[in-house]
Chain A
C-alpha cells in the first residue's frame, strides 16, 4: 500500500472513499463509555467538516441574494427567515458577461483535450507495460521525470511554435486546436504513467494464453487490455477533464485574449478586475464554473479517487 514514488496500489477496493468498517481497538468498557471516549474525535471531525464547508456554502448562499443584500449584510443572515433568494445574479452574468458562451467554450476545450491524450497514452502505456524493447526502463524513467516538469518551462517556446504555424490566414495560436494540442502534450506523462501502472498490474497469464491462441498485440490490446481497464480509463478521463476544465494558465496563454473563445476560468478571472461595484456577480459566475465539476465529483467520486491513488499528481 505504501509503494514509493507516486503511490501505486494494487488493491483499489480498499482505498476508496467509502467507509471501510474495521474492528476498533478500544475494546474495553461498555458502549456508553466508548461513546464518551470518542466524543473528542466526533467533535474534531464535525468542526473540521464545518470549517471546510463554510467557504463553499457562503459562496452558494451569496450567489442567490440581491446585490444590496450581499453588500449590506452577511450571507449567514440569509439563512434565517424571511428567505429572500433570487436568480438575478445568474441572469445578469449569463446575459451580460458572456458566461453562457464561456460555458460552451469550456466544453469545447475540455472534451477533445480529454479524449486525445488518453488515446495517445493508451498505446504508449501498453508498449511500456507489455512489450520488450531496448531502453524501455530508461524511457519510462524519462516519463516519470517529466511528470513534475512545470509547464511554465515549456510555455513560451510552445507559444512561439503556435505563432509560427499558419493555417490559412491565421496562426495556430488562439485556436481551439492549439489548446487541444497543448493539453495533450502536457497531460501525456501523467496519462502514460497511470495507464502503464494499470496495464502492468493485469495478469501475465491472460496475455500469454491469448498469444498462444494466435492473437496479435492489436487484438490483445483492444480485446483484453482496454476492456479490463475501464475503471482506470474512467479515472484518467475524469482527472484529465477536471484538470482541463479548471485550467487557467494554458487557456490564458494559448487562447489569447479573445472573449469569443475564452473558457469559464479566463472569463471569470477577467471579471475579477472588471466588475467594480458588482462584485457579488462573481459569486454566481464562480458557481456556474463549479457546477459541472461538482456533478462529476458527486457521481464519479470513486473513479476520481482511483485516479489520485493510481498515479502521482500533476498540476
Chain B
C-alpha cells in the first residue's frame, strides 16, 4: 500500500519533470545545430511524445484489432471471415444491430430535439442559467450512477419505482419496464438522453446566441410569428451546429456501453455492440469474435469520421 503512494508521488512530480526536461534538453541540443536546421527538427521533437502515445495506444491497436478479427478465439490461427460469418449468422446478433439502430435514431432524436427546445425556451427567461444548470447537471454523473438512478426509477414495485407510481396515478398497472423488447431499449435510451440532453443544449444554446438579435427583430417586424421565426430563420442558421451535435450523439449511440452494462447487462434483448464486444472478450474469452464486433463498430463510425474531417477542412479553409 505504501508502494502506491510512492508511485503516485513519482508520477505526479516525475512525469511533468521528465516531459518539461525533455523539451528543455532538446532545445539545448538544437542550439548546437545551424539555425536553418532547428526549425525543421523542433516540431517533431515536440510532437514525439504525443505521437508515441497515439501510435502505441490507438493506431497500432486498431490495426491489430482488424487482424485479430480474422483469427480464432485465442489469436493463434487465421480463420478468414469466420468470426464475421458467425456474427451475422446468429439471430441474436441481429437484435444487437437493431438495438444500436434504435439507439442511433431515438437517442439522437431525443437529445437533439430536447436540447434545442430547452435552448430556445430558456433563451427567453431571466432564470436561464438556473434552468440550464439543472438540465446540464446529469452530465457530471457517471453512467454507473445514472444506471442505478434509473433502475430505481423503473423499479417494478409502485412503492419504490417512481415511474410505476406515476402511471399508477393514471390507473395503469405496474409495468416491468426493463423486460420486454423493444420497450426496454427505449427505457435505457431515455436514461441516456437524460444525461446527454444538457450537452446538446449547451452547444445549441451557444449557436443560438450567435444569431444576431437584429435578424430576429427584422423577421418580427415583417410580421413573422414565433414559429415562423424558429423554422425559417433560427433553424437554417443553426443547421451547421445541429449537424455537429447530431454526429456527436450518433457516435455516442454507437459506442454506448456503461449504461446497458449496469441497467440490464445486455439481457432481455437489450444488448448493444460495445457490450457484446466486452462480453465476447471477457466472458466468452473469444478475442477473435470480440475484435470482429469492434471492427463492425469501427466500420459504422468511419462515415462519421470522414464527415468530421471534411467539416474540419472547410473550417480550416475559412480560418
**B61: contacting residue among A8, A158, A269, CB under 8 A:** A158
Q: Which of A125-146 contact B (CB under 8 A)?
A: 126-128, 131-133, 136-137, 139, 141, 143-146
Residues 224-264 of B at the A interface (beta carbon under 8 Å):
229, 237-241, 243-244, 248, 251-252, 254-255, 257-258, 261-262
Given A45-B122, A55-B149, A248-B258: A20 touches B209 (CB 8 Å cut-off): yes
Given A62, A123, A136, A253, which contacts B50 in the complex, CB threshold below 8 Å? Answer: A123
The CA of A247 and the CA of B255, in the complex, are separated in Å by 13
In this complex, what residue of A is CB-closest to B55? Answer: A185
Known: A19-B126, A145-B305, A188-B54. A154 touches B8 (CB 8 A): no
The answer to whether A45 and B150 touch (CB under 8 A), given A180-B11, A185-B58, is no
A153–B50 touching, CB < 8 Å: no
In the complex, whether A15 has a CB less than 8 A from a CB of chain B is yes
- B65/A248 in contact, CB under 8 A: no
Interface check A79, CB cutoff 8 A = no
Q: With the chains together, A15 CA to B211 CA distance in Å?
A: 12
CA A308 – CA B244 in complex, angstroms?
12
Asked whether any CB of chain B lies closer than 8 Å to the CB of A23, the reply is yes
Stretch of A65-73, A86-94, A202-210 that contacts chain B: A65-73
Q: Which residues of B sit under 8 angstroms from A133, Cβ to Cβ?
A: 40, 43-44
- The answer, yes or no, to whether A147 is at the interface (CB within 8 Å) is yes
Considering the complex, give the chain A residue whose CB is closest to the CB of B224. Answer: A25
Say yes or no: B209 contacts A1, CB within 8 Å: yes
Which of B216, B237, B291, B312 interacts with A144 by CB under 8 Å? B312
The 8 Å CB contact of A17, one of B202, B295, B316, is B202
Q: Does A6 sit within 8 A of B, measured CB to CB?
A: yes
Whether A5 lies near B311 (C-beta < 8 A) is: yes
Instruction: Tell me, yes or no, whether A224 is within 8 Å of chain B by CB.
Output: no
Known contacts A7-B241, A56-B149, A137-B316, A309 near B54 by CB under 8 Å: no
Quick check: which of B91-99, B158-166, B175-183 contacts chain A, the rest being far away?
B158-166
Residue of B nearest to A108 (CB): B8
In the docked arrangement, what's the CA distance between A238 and B248, Å?
Answer: 20
Is A98 part of the contact surface with B, judged by Cβ < 8 Å? no
How far is B11's CA from A20's CA once the two chains are assembled, in angstroms? 42
List the A side residues contacting B147 at CB < 8 Å.
272
**Which residues A187-242 have CB closer than 8 A to chain B?**
188-189, 192, 200, 216-218, 221, 242
A291 CA to B258 CA in the complex, in Å?
19
Please tell me if B79 contacts chain A, counting CB pairs below 8 Å: no
Q: Which residue of A lies closest to B199 (CB)?
A: A308
Q: Which residues of A contact B101 (CB under 8 A)?
A: none
B291 touches A156 (CB 8 A): yes
Which residues on the B side are within 8 Å of A126 (C-beta)?
46
Binds A, one of B15-23, B82-90, B102-110: B15-23
In the assembled complex, the CB of B125 is this many whole angstroms from the nearest CB of chain A, namely 6
Range of interface residues on A (Cβ < 8 Å): 35 or more
Other-chain residue from A15, A38, A53, A160 in contact with B206 (beta carbon distance below 8 A): A15
B167 within 8 A of partner (CB): no
- The answer on a CB contact under 8 Å between B142 and A289 is yes
Q: Tell me if A9 is interfacial: C-beta within 8 Å of chain B.
A: yes
Q: Which residues of A are found within 8 Å of B241, using beta-carbon distances?
A: 1-2, 7
B75 CB to closest chain A CB (Å) equals 8
Cα–Cα, bound, A309→B129 (Å): 16
Contact A19 B143 (CB under 8 A): no
Closest to B135 in A: A52
Within the assembled complex, what's the spacing in Å between the Cα atoms of A152 and B97?
16
Write the chain B residue with the least CB distance to A22: B213
B65 pairs with A185, CB closer than 8 A: no
Return B267 CB to nearest CB of chain A, in Å.
11
**A4: contacting residue among B12, B27, B311, CB under 8 A:** B311
Set A3, A25, A59, A75: member contacting B217, Cβ < 8 A: A25
Judge whether A49 is part of the interface by a CB distance below 8 angstroms: yes
Does A97 reach chain B (CB closer than 8 Å)? no
Interface string of A273-308 (1 = CB under 8 A from B): 100000000110111011001101100010011001
Nearest 4 pairs of A and B residues by beta carbon: A185-B57, A1-B210, A246-B142, A15-B206
Q: Which residues of A contact B (CB under 8 A)?
A: 1-9, 14-15, 17-26, 38, 41-42, 44-45, 48-49, 52-56, 58-59, 62, 70-76, 108, 111-112, 115-117, 119-121, 123-124, 126-128, 131-133, 136-137, 139, 141, 143-150, 152-158, 160-161, 176-177, 180-182, 184-186, 188-189, 192, 200, 216-218, 221, 242, 245-249, 252-253, 264-265, 268-269, 272-273, 282-283, 285-287, 289-290, 293-294, 296-297, 301, 304-305, 308-309, 312-313, 315
Given A2-B237, A22-B213, A52-B194, 10 additional A-B pairs, CB 8 A:
A4-B240, A5-B308, A22-B209, A70-B160, A144-B312, A150-B294, A152-B274, A176-B4, A242-B140, A289-B145
21 residue pairs of the A-B complex, CB under 8 angstroms, read A8-B315, A14-B209, A15-B209, A17-B202, A24-B124, A48-B131, A55-B162, A74-B162, A74-B165, A121-B50, A123-B49, A152-B277, A156-B291, A157-B64, A161-B56, A177-B11, A185-B54, A189-B58, A290-B141, A304-B139, A304-B140
